[in-house]
Amino acid sequence: MKRVILFFYVMFLCVSSTLAKSDPDIKSQSALVFNPLSERVIYEKNADKVMPIASITKLMTAMVTLDARLPSHEMITITQADVDKLKRTSSRLPVGSSYPRHELLRLALMSSENRAAAALGRSYPGGINAFVKAMNQKARKIGMTRSYFVDSTGLNSNNVATARDLAKLVKSAYHYTAIREFSTTSKHFVSPGNKRGNLQYVNSNALISSQNWEIAVSKTGYLNEAGRCLVMQANISAQPVVIVLLNSWGKNTRIGDANRVKKWIENNPNRKQV
């Protein structure tokens, strides 16, 4: 009798262990984990739900800017048109200050600088309307069939997508050298050209500075309507992995989810496709 009980107890432990490894316990409302080489979905949760994406938008802003092959060193002046009148977010880029296009691109990607992203859209040939049109054309081209863009910053909650579409966005963004470099810059200094001296910007993704992560593309986002969002492409267990996390309401939930995904993949080398 004792042997029978012991047998079932061992079986229970084995089943419990298997179940524990079958799900990374993601807290974000929507998520997708994806291998961009094999195009294999590793994990998904509400991956086809259309949701606001906040500043994840800036990855598309960067691709459209780079596709246009505009002069990277051309000076762009911040104007009143770049000031956020929708959400009234702050910025350390003063109206009247000027920066090379590549500096604005870096600030938009690494620290989600809204005036930088607004200026990139405004200075596009044809202005912001032409820029937004190009954003939506690019989305269709790379297969983002359930996404829609209305501005270059992501401050408008009508910028929407699914986690599945955003995996395609990250995969495409990886092919741009500037996006890989700028989105993973840990800190950067710029001069606004006034007596305050240089301004230091840090990456909005704390994982960029972690020695435990090898991140190739990164972008965070936050709006009340979108929650806290994070998309990345990183090398985990010697393979590229795209991670999309949307609507994480806790301050550190998206970081915790990313770490849970990483640990889950590392502990489950023979995981099966969802």
Positions annotated as catalytic residues are 55, 58, 112
| DSSP3 helix / strand / coil % (the chain, rounded to 5) | 40, 20, 40
What backbone torsions phi and psi does residue 132 show, to the nearest 5 degrees? -65, -40
What backbone torsions phi and psi does residue 130 show, to the nearest 5 degrees? -65, -35
Furthest-apart CA atoms within the chain: distance in Å = 84
Q: How far is the CA of 156 from the CAs of 18, 89, 160, 205, in angstroms?
A: 43, 12, 9, 21
Give me the residues paired with residue 230 across strands. 220, 245
Beta strands in 166-270 (DSSP E): 187-190, 199-202, 215-223, 227-236, 239-248
Query: DSSP class of residue 238?
Result: T
